[in-house]
Amino acid sequence: MAGQAGETLPSDWKAISMPILHDDQISKMMFFVRHQNPDDKNGTEGGKKRQTRFILNISLSKIGDMQIDGLFRQGRLDVALRTRNTLTKDMQNDLTQKYAAAMEQTQLAGKILFQTKGWVEPPQTASLKS
């Protein structure tokens, strides 16, 4: 993991493969991050309006594949939660309420969206595909 933390992929994405324990099983979670300026499509230069984009790819036994796509900028954290199958309205309402409570506790603004399409595939290297 330490070696991967500094590995920059094409388009200035950095990738880290991390273990996650869920339901007494260890699985792999892919974490991608890049810093970008809204005016800079490649995210190579920072500035006053610098923002951080991150993507977490997780596979859960009950829900299946999930992607958390977040954008943090100037006190605001917006998240798109993608799943292969639509989450129930009750699950969406519960997650929305918990997200709003977390935003209030951290004094951040932001919203959460639920999607089944639009999965983002950051570039990968051969060492991360295993």
pLDDT digits (tens), the chain, 130 positions: 444 454 555 567 888 888 888 778 787 788 899 888 766 555 445 445 789 999 998 887 788 889 999 999 999 999 999 999 999 999 999 999 999 999 999 999 999 999 999 998 876 643 444 4
Helix (H) or strand (E) holding 59: strand 51-60
* pLDDT value for 29: 80
DSSP string for 9-43: PGGG-EEEEEEEEETTEEEEEEEEEEEE-TT-TT-
